[in-house]
A = this chain, B = another copy of it.
Amino acid sequence: MTTRKALAERNDHALLQAARDVLAEDGAHASVAAIAARAGVGIGSLYRRYKTKEELFQRLSLLSLEHWNDVAEQGLASPDPWAGLASFVQGCVEFGQGSLAPVAGTIEVTQEMSVKARLGDELLERLIRRAHEAGVLRTDVAAVDISLLIEQLGRSPMIDQLRKQGRDDLLPAATEARRRLITIVLDGLRPGPVPLPGSPPGEELFTGRWSH
């Protein structure tokens, strides 16, 4: 019925998702034991797949970057510049890009990661430029602002807290409130009737991304 290969694949997927969840709830303090327990997998099985804790987190980072790029390309494929940008932001936020923030500084950045990060920056730039040219995005919003926005909205300390406390009854309401907040913020990025004079989009030193 369940071949060994299929079981291993399912376990690996469960481990990665569990790592995301535990990281979101416990931050940098997330322990390997907690991740394995959440995934319903023994610690031994985890360590057969990933030699160290860092290797697991590196894999997680790489998948996160790939997801960023996938969603960005999907957004660019959309004919509507605004819809493309909005779906990109929403896709990144809901995936929980921000959950990796606590470990971003503790793991070694592989060459593959930095390559994908550069590609992702480029895709985002193109999304922004297209929206600007179509006149559907506030002129004072630069790529770094979108990066920051995704990082800021990508985590939900309140929802993580509720889940940790086991208040599953409040989770749907909180999740829905968060979704509304995201749409409100996204809506605020569109050019309004009274745009405030913003600073120029420059500032090259800080790109707003975790990995270099």
Interface set of A (CB-CB < 8 Å, partner B): 26-29, 98, 101-102, 104-105, 138, 140-141, 144-145, 148-149, 151-153, 155-158, 161, 164-165, 169-170, 173-174, 176-178, 180-181, 183-185, 187-190, 192-196, 198-199, 203, 205-206, 208, 210
Other-chain residue from B105, B161, B180, B205 in contact with A170 (beta carbon distance below 8 A): B205
Contact B192 A193 (CB under 8 A): yes
B185 close to A101 (CB less than 8 A)? no
Contact of A190 among B153, B192, B208 (CB under 8 A): B192
CB of A185, distance to nearest CB on chain B (Å): 5
Contacts of A26 in B (CB 8 A): 27-29
For the complex of A and B, 3 pairs with smallest distance between CB atoms: A188-B188, A173-B206, A29-B29
- Contact assessment for A161 and B101 in the assembled complex, using a CB-CB cutoff below 8 Å: yes
In the bound assembly, the distance between CA atoms of A187 and B191 in angstroms comes to 10
A98 in contact with B157 (CB, 8 Å) = yes
Contact residue among B155, B177, B208 (Cβ-Cβ distance under 8 Å from A145)? B177
